[in-house]
Amino acid sequence: SPASARPHVLLLCSPCMGHLIPFAELARRLVADHGLAATILFAAAMDAPSEHYAALASSVPDGVDLVVLPAPPADALPPSTPVRERVLNAAVSAVPRVRDIARSLTSTGPLTALVVDMASVPARDVATELGVPCYMFFTSPWMLLSLFLHLPELDAGLVGEYRDATEPIRLPGCVPIHARELPGSLLADRSSETYAGFLSLAKDASRVDGILVNTFRDLEPAVGEGGTDCVKGMPVHAVGPLVWTRPFGVNREPEHARLIAWLDQKPRGSVVFLSFGSGGTLTRRQTTELALALEATGRPFVWAAKRPHENTADGAFFGTGRRGDDDDDPLGFLPRGFVERTSGAGLVLLSWAPQTAILAHAAVGCFVTHCGWNSSLESILNGVPMVAWPLYAEQKMNAAMLEAHAGVAARVNAAGFVCKEEIVSVIRRVMDGDEATTMRRRVGELRDRATHALTMHGSSTLTLAKVTDVWKSSTTPSEGK
């Protein structure tokens, strides 16, 4: 059917690359497999698009429209405002534009649903006004969603602070969550505004019509809590793992081809790939220690590095912290002589790395990751075991789950500085010996099941089909109804 006649889904994504990537893949599938048209609205936080954003925007799937909504005025928030609040602010400021765009779409054809991410739930009013369902696409694991849906109840039963709890939080079917693994910045202080805001987001979440989660049953069997698909009255649908499946941006092909050719020279499973996501940064001292550890392992490596940041672990969130135009020596933050000594054995990348292509290469045997959920899913889909090095947000929970429940990762001691000896030893655990063999087998099994979940008759595809059938039937009732 011509695209204009197809029921249209409007997707609204807050300014997080880690959300936009799975949103783009969800939109691709809605168009390619489910007979819908899709427009993604990206609520920018800053006017100048980041390099990451440009890489994604240049490879938006066929049939999907990507529209950038203007950022709030630069002076709307004080410079010290944390990333989290900037994200929420951009999402809320976008609502009037979302309303205009949604209205204009309804004048050209049927609008069938609004899909929001966790930060952009306020836009659900637009869906209510237009009489279409509003679904949330939750781009983190089921375990975090479960925590989120149970938060009002946990809050009501808690005396004191989360960090003082002696017992872990036990959610149905999830690994017990110890206080030290909770998203600290959100739950650190129950009397703070941050916490109040998070709690109200959690309460608000129960006002959407359903939640799609980027996970699959073989990884998180409890998703939807034991097959009831309803948690605290909320329908929950596992539609993942949806990860980046597109080429990596224009003008980068020669550079990427060289990288792949370099990997082609390395023995199977020998290379360590390191990346801390789109936003993650280490301190200068930790960067030095990691570099020295890589040198000490003597293993080949590809390191998607970022300039150190002293004050925050999410220092590159909006795309800063990569190439420093003001630097004569962009690699000057690495230990003296490191690049020369490791030349041939290691590659340091400063620009947006083609991560899924690297993980898909047979030479890669270990992924040192901050455990952002997309990175975790991409590693699983490529059968690569992980060193889990969580930095911020819910990454410590993800790391606990990947190690203790899924058996596909070994964690560093994330309480603080990670020393060279520990880095060397944790990489060895993931690459050599019996533990490594078990991990590789386990991640291989999960890869096969993830791949199956995404086939035509796999659980995630069928689940999404059921959801889209509901959307379509509410837009265009079939004759005789």
Active site residue 75: no
Q: Please pick, from the candidates 50, 146, 278, 461, the single residue that binds ligand UDP as defined by CB under 6 A.
A: 278
Quick check: 355 binds ligand UDP (CB under 6 A)?
A: yes
- The minimum distance between CB 313 and ligand UDP, in angstroms, equals 10
Of the pair 203, 252, the CB lying nearest ligand UDP is at 252
In this structure, are residues 383 and 428 in contact, taking their beta carbons and an 8 Å threshold? no
Q: Does 321 bind ligand UDP (CB under 6 A)?
A: no
How far apart (Å, rounded) are the C-alpha atoms in residues 171 and 397? Answer: 12
Site for ligand UDP contains 353 (CB under 6 A): yes
Smaller CB distance to ligand UDP: residue 374 or 475? 374
Among 53, 195, 333, 373, binds ligand UDP (CB under 6 A): 373
Here the contacts of 323-331 (C-beta below 8 Å, separation 24 or greater) are: 323/51, 323/350, 323/351, 331/305
Residue 133 binds ligand UDP, judged by CB under 6 A: no
Choice among 8, 34, 52, 117 that is catalytic: 117
CB of 16 to ligand UDP, least distance (A): 6
Q: Is 374 in the site for ligand UDP (CB under 6 A)?
A: yes
- The reply on whether position 214 binds ligand UDP by CB under 6 A is no
464 binds ligand UDP (CB under 6 A): no
Work out whether 281 is an interface residue with ligand UDP (CB under 6 A): no
Q: Which two tokens stand for residue 84?
A: 């989290």
* 375 in contact with ligand UDP (CB under 6 A): yes
Q: How many residues bind ligand UDP (CB under 6 A)?
A: 20
Nearest approach in angstroms of CB 102 to ligand UDP is 27
Q: What share of the chain is helix, strand, coil (3-state, %, to 5)?
A: 45, 15, 40
Helical H runs in 215-323?
Answer: 224-227, 253-264, 284-297
Q: Which residues pair with 38 in a beta bridge?
A: 9, 64
**Contact region with ligand UDP (CB under 6 A), list: 30-38, 177-185, 281-289, 348-356:** 348-356
Task: Find the angle CA(33)-CA(54)-CA(447) to the nearest 5 degrees.
Answer: 45
Nearer to ligand UDP, 209 or 378 (CB): 378
Interface residue with ligand UDP, options 137, 162, 195, 244 (CB under 6 A): 244
Nearer to ligand UDP, 7 or 277 (CB): 277
Tell me which stretch binds ligand UDP (CB under 6 A): 77-85, 173-181, 234-242, 271-279. Answer: 271-279
Our finding on whether 352 is near ligand UDP (CB under 6 A) is: yes
Considering only the C-alpha atoms of the chain, give the largest distance between any 2 of them, rounded to a whole number of Å.
Answer: 76
3-state secondary structure of 213: strand
* From 8, 19, 237, 309, active-site residue: 19
| Shortest distance in whole angstroms from residue 356 CB to ligand UDP | 6
Other beta carbons within 10 angstroms of residue 444's beta carbon come to 15
Q: 3-class SS at 381?
A: helix
- Angstrom distances, CA of residue 304 to CA of 19, 139, 168, 346, 352: 20, 22, 34, 11, 8
Euclidean distance between CA atoms 86 and 317, whole angstroms? 11
b/e per residue 68-80 (b: at least 16 CB within 10 A): ebebbeeeeeeee
| Binding letters toward ligand UDP, positions 283-312, x by CB under 6 A | ---------------------x--------
Q: How far is the CB of 179 from ligand UDP (least distance, A)?
A: 22
Task: Measure the CA–CA gap between 407 and 402, rounded to whole angstroms.
Answer: 6
User: Near ligand UDP by CB under 6 A, which window of 127-135, 165-173, 194-202, 273-281?
Assistant: 273-281
Smallest separation (angstroms) from ligand UDP to the CB of 275: 5
Query: Is residue 398 a contact residue for ligand UDP (CB under 6 A)?
Result: no
Q: How far is residue 89's CA from residue 83's CA, in Å, rounded to a whole number? A: 10
DSSP state of 126: H
Binding of residue 83 to ligand UDP (CB under 6 A) = no
Q: What are the E-state strand segments in 343-393?
A: 346-349, 364-369, 386-388
State the number of CA atoms in the 13 A half-sphere of 101 facing the CB: 23
The residue (of 51 and 189) whose beta carbon lies closer to ligand UDP is 51
Q: Quick one: tokens of 459?
A: 């659980």
Distance CA 475, CA 481 (A): 13
Residue from the set 141, 224, 279, 321 that interacts with ligand UDP by CB under 6 A:
279
Closest CA to 141 of 233, 41, 235, 217: 217
Q: How many CB atoms lie within 10 A of CB 107?
A: 7
Q: Taking the complex as a whole, how short is the minimal distance between the CB of residue 353 and ligand UDP, in angstroms?
A: 4
Restricted to residues 441-460, the positions that interact with ligand UDP (CB under 6 A) are none
Helix pair 284-297, 420-431: axis angle to 10 deg: 50
117 is annotated as an active-site residue: yes
Residue 201, C-beta contacts closer than 8 angstroms, at least 6 positions apart:
118, 119, 121, 148
- Residue 319 or 365: the one with the smaller Cβ distance to ligand UDP is 319
Q: Indicate which residues carry an active-site annotation.
A: 19, 117
| Residues near ligand UDP (CB under 6 A) | 16-18, 21, 244, 275, 277-280, 304, 352-353, 355-356, 372-375, 378
